[in-house]
Amino acid sequence: MDGLKEAEGLILPVIRWLRLSLEAVGAFWIAVGFVLALVELTNAHLKRRISNFIKVRLAFSRYLSLALEFQLASDVLSTAVSPT
């Protein structure tokens, strides 16, 4: 039983750091998508092409989808560590 508690004591900090890293990567991709979308929107306004933003919205949604996958992985680890 002591070996199990020792293993748990070693694994929990690693999982917490992994969870934090996954959340940070998700936040990073949201920020990247935001910056790129903002640049594209600004360029569209400057060139007076504001009638159709579907391309920009789709590109941003891809970044949001990618970030969501990282956030989901983080949530899975959270549930595995503390299922209640």
- Which pLDDT score, from 0 to 100, does residue 30 have? 97
- Which pLDDT score, from 0 to 100, does residue 54 have? 86
- Which pLDDT score, from 0 to 100, does residue 29 have? 97
Say if CB 74 and CB 23 are below 8 A apart. yes
Q: Which are the contacts of 29, defined by CB distance < 8 A and separation ≥ 6?
A: 63, 66, 67, 70
Question: What digits encode the pLDDT tens for the residues 3-57?
Answer: 777 877 888 889 999 999 999 999 999 999 999 999 999 988 888 877 778 888 9
